[in-house]
Amino acid sequence: MIDSRIRVLAIDTSTEIAGVAVLRDGDGVALSWDAGRNQTTTLLDQVDRCLGLAGIGPAELNAIAVATGPGMFNGLRVGMSLAKGLAFGLDLPIVGVSTLDVAAEPWLGLGRTVVAVVAAGRGRVVWQSFFETGKATSEPVNSPLSEFMDRMRDGRDLLVAGEVPEPESAMLLERGAVIRTGIRGRRDPLALARLGARRIDRLGGADLATLQPRYIHSRPEAVAGA
């Protein structure tokens, strides 16, 4: 149960699909857009717009949540810099949340292992599988899209969510997976806001000085659904 008094601004610039949200009184407003590689020029305007739609000003916030990756280097840096700047300037607690946790969150509890996928650029993806309870079944894996598809040979117990191109999504569907990709699989900024609110309520904020984006460069051994 999230404390309804927590008013969270959430920022996710992990990939070319960016998002912001404001959670207030247990409900909220979220915006997602195709930022491409222009997060620097679009993010602040979208934050201002989201605050306006939520009907609150920056001074009425009491927490910041930011997606920490994995994702694209420049995008993560833009989101982290703004989130930390706001937290410092407004004297607010800040919490970082894995982008893969954000991608998986809306699809947990549906009776399938959830495989969350984040685009990493240059034909690569970072993915991680989760039990329906939300506990990870593996470490994140950074691999070529072709290798990811090889690992998803049997999709009968899988729900694949996130940034998977249309041809590969169709193949996964044929293999028995439930697919939440494309527009349907976009990360929900409100999922980030709610995860952040829960963590702040339970553990407090992170250390502003040490909070950094997380980049997954290596490829640890992992088996989806294991």
Q: Over the stretch 115-159, which tens digit does the pLDDT of each residue have?
A: 999 998 889 999 999 999 999 998 999 999 999 999 999 999 999
CATH of domain 103-184: 3.30.420.140
Q: How far apart are alpha carbons 163 and 15 in whole angstroms?
A: 9
Mean pLDDT of 68-89: 95
How does pLDDT run across 56-73, given as a tens digit for each residue? 999 999 999 999 999 989
Q: Could you say which architecture CATH assigns to the domain 8-99+187-203?
A: 2-Layer Sandwich (3.30)
Tell me the CA distances in angstroms from 131 to 54, 108, 110, 137, one per residue in order: 33, 8, 10, 6
Distance separating alpha carbons of residues 162 and 73, to the nearest angstrom: 18
Q: How many residues does the chain have?
A: 226
pLDDT at residue 4, as a whole number = 63
The domains of the chain are located at 8-99+187-203, 103-184
Q: Which residue has the higher pLDDT, 223 or 75?
A: 75
pLDDT value at 3 more than 70: no
Closest CA to 2 of 205, 206, 199: 199
